[in-house]
Chain A
Amino acid sequence: MKHKDILEPEISLLLETVYQKYHYDFRQYSEAHIRRRIMNRMAMSGLEDVSQMRSKILNDETFASRLLQDLSITVTEMFRDPGFYRSLRENVIPVLKTYPFIKIWHAGCSTGEEAYSMSIILQEEGLYDRTTIYATDFNQQALNKAKEGIFSNELMKEYTINYQLSGGKESFSGYYTSNYNNVIMNQSLKKNIVWANHNLVTDGVFAEVHLILCRNVLIYFERDLQNKVQALFYNSLINGGILCLGSKEGLRFTDLYEEYVELDKKQRIFKKKY
């Protein structure tokens, strides 16, 4: 056997070190995900083994912040999973319309693409002016990018298709201004978004909200942590509030399965019972 084995205790020790020194807690993240990102970083930085990486983390803050970026996933899209956004328009918007003011929590918003998608839908449905969107992430670098609202022009073709598939009827290009290789999202889409640093693993409830979106974040956690974060969501939602998860995420294995009704089973949209 030529290949050096990666042992769980070594990875545990590494994550413990990250937590003690930098206060980012990856200890209950999916083991397979962490292992893959660490292996990739080791190969890219020419490190021999995990213990060598551990001492680098202790002594080299630039390297440590690079590893934090590796472990935090920022892959996202506007109107990602158009079928979900179609269902949001059909099944969730009518519920939101019954409230005089609306608070939405977009947990794990990364670089903001889905928060902007939400702003667009709310504008089209005439709800934007009475809504506050809390868009949170623990990755400050990603949040800064989200706040800027500048995206690559190349992506707009795909996002336009997503938008149309999601039931959008306006001209998508009306929502941004092109500037060479980039586009900048309209100021009017940003004005009711509050970008804030919040870590789902270590931070608690900060508001009572009508709708939570947290899509493709929980898949990166092991079951116990998933349960803990689900409790945080449950405690943040008003009675009758709505929870939207990623297309492969659910409540079936959590303690809270009985506390919600399914609004759309396929698109993983749940309503907290009264």
Chain B
Amino acid sequence: MMQYEAIVVGVSSGGMNAMKVLFSILPKDFSIPVIIVQHVSSHSDNQWIKILNDKSDLYIKEADEKEKIEQGTAYIAPANYHLLIGKNKTFSLTVDERVNFARPSIDVLFESAAEVYKSKLIGVVLTGSNNDGTKGIKRIKEYGGLAIIQDPETAESAYMPASAITAVKADYILSLEDISYLLIQLGNGIKTYLT
């Protein structure tokens, strides 16, 4: 039975509401680390992460450079930095050029995570209005990971999940609530859900 080691999530416009839903469902001490790129303005500070954390059972923090990735924690990429994962399962930040007009870019996180976690990675593409994440979710599938995409009809912005769906054969296409419960089951090692 597959024990997943990390979940990477890409979310853009509509993301603040989406994350409120996700974190109202994920439990404290959730067994798989959750790593998120949310597109925000380059001048944004991390106050919203603190506010999100106050309302969540699961501990949410901004990812620090060279920080070790731990269970029971959700990490969010800092504004204006790309977030990458090293083979030693620590974070790296870079100020490289924007990718898909974005920094942080979802593709950058997904690609580096796929190379590290391979088939033990879950990729999740949520609401958004550009195609960041499409290349990344494809890479995750190429390495044998699991692709979960928000049903575009249930997304605040359909474009990003719809773009991801055209690029890969998704393992699951679900509403945000169902994705959240699916993640809990995957975290508990339960294999089948809504197949």
Is B142 touching A32 in the complex (CB atoms < 8 A)?
no
| B86 with A1: CB separation less than 8 A | no
Q: Which residues of B65-96 have CB atoms within 8 Å of chain A's CB atoms?
A: 65-66, 78, 81, 84-88, 92-96
Q: Is A23 an interface residue (CB 8 A)?
A: no
A: residues with CB less than 8 A from B are 1-3, 5-6, 8, 30-33, 35-36, 39, 73, 75, 216, 219-220, 222-223, 226, 246, 248-249, 253
Residues of B within 8 A of A246 (CB): 95
A1-B142, A30-B86 known; A73 vs B65 contact (CB < 8 Å): no
Q: Which residues of A contact B94 (CB under 8 A)?
A: 30, 33, 36, 73, 219-220
> Using a CB–CB distance below 8 Å, which chain B residues touch chain A?
64-66, 78, 81, 84-88, 92-97, 108, 111-112, 114-115, 118-119, 139, 142-144
26 pairs, CB–CB < 8 Å, chain A vs chain B? A3-B114, A30-B66, A31-B87, A32-B84, A32-B87, A32-B92, A32-B112, A33-B84, A33-B92, A33-B96, A35-B112, A36-B84, A36-B96, A36-B111, A73-B95, A73-B96, A216-B95, A219-B92, A219-B94, A219-B95, A220-B94, A226-B66, A246-B95, A248-B78, A248-B81, A253-B66
B65: chain A residues at CB < 8 Å are 219, 248-249
Among residues of B, the one whose C-beta sits closest to the C-beta of A37 is: B96
Chain B residues with Cβ below 8 Å from A32 are 84-87, 92, 112
CA distance A187 to B111 in the complex (A): 44
- A216 — which chain B residues lie within 8 A by C-beta? 95
Asked whether B84 lies within 8 Å of A1 as measured between CB atoms, the reply is no
Inter-chain CA distance A8–B87, complex, in Å, is: 8
Cα of A93 to Cα of B195 in the assembled complex, Å? 63
CB-based nearest A residue for B142: A3
Interface contact B95-A31, CB-CB below 8 Å: no
A259 to chain B, nearest CB (A): 20
Give the distance in Å from the alpha carbon of A1 to the alpha carbon of B144 in the complex: 6
What's the Cα separation between A1 and B86 when bound, in Å? Answer: 20
The verdict on A3 contacting B119 (CB below 8 Å), with A35-B112, A73-B95, A253-B66 known, is no
* B93 & A219 in contact (Cβ 8 Å cutoff): yes
A1–B87 alpha-carbon span in the complex (Å): 18
| CB nearest neighbor in B for A249 | B65
B93 touches A3 (CB 8 A): no
* A8 to B, closest residue via Cβ: B87
Instruction: Evaluate whether A6 and B95 lie within 8 angstroms (CB atoms) in the complex, with A33-B84, A249-B65 already known.
Output: no
Write out the residue numbers on chain A whose beta carbons fall within 8 Å of the beta carbon of B87.
8, 31-32, 35
> A145 CB to closest chain B CB, in angstroms?
16
Residues of B within 8 Å of A5, CB to CB, are 115, 118
Beta-carbon contact of A248 and B93 below 8 Å: yes
A6 / chain B contacts, CB cutoff of 8 Å: 115
Question: Which residue in A2, A39, A75 is a CB contact (below 8 Å) of B95?
Answer: A75
Contacts of B118 in A (CB 8 A): 1, 5
Which of chain B's residues have a CB closer than 8 A to the CB of A31?
86-88, 92
New contact pairs (19) apart from A1-B142, A73-B95, A222-B66, CB-CB < 8 Å: A3-B114, A3-B142, A3-B143, A8-B87, A31-B88, A32-B84, A33-B92, A33-B96, A36-B96, A36-B112, A216-B95, A219-B92, A219-B95, A220-B94, A226-B66, A246-B95, A248-B64, A248-B78, A249-B65
Cα A35 to Cα B108 in complex, Å, equals 11
Sort A-B residue pairs by CB-CB distance and give the 6 closest, nearest first: A32-B84, A3-B142, A32-B92, A32-B86, A30-B92, A31-B86
Minimum CB–CB distance for B140 against chain A, Å: 10
Which of B81, B88, B94 has the most chain A CB within a 10 Å cutoff?
B94
- B52 → chain A, closest Cβ, in Å? 19
Shortest Cβ distance from residue B1 to the other chain A in the assembled complex, whole angstroms: 18
Task: Give chain B nearest CB distance to A216 CB in angstroms.
Answer: 5
CB of A14, distance to nearest CB on chain B (Å): 15
- CB of A76, distance to nearest CB on chain B (Å): 8
State the CA gap A222–B78 with chains docked (Å).
19
The interface residues of chain B lying within 8 Å CB-to-CB of A223 are 66
Q: Which residue of A lies closest to B108 (CB)?
A: A36
Q: Complex formed: what's the CA distance from A265 to B58 in Å?
A: 27
Nearest B residue (CB) for A76: B95
Contacts of B84 in A (CB 8 A): 30, 32-33, 36
How many whole Å from A214's CB to the nearest CB in chain B?
13
Output the least CB separation between B80 and chain A (Å): 8
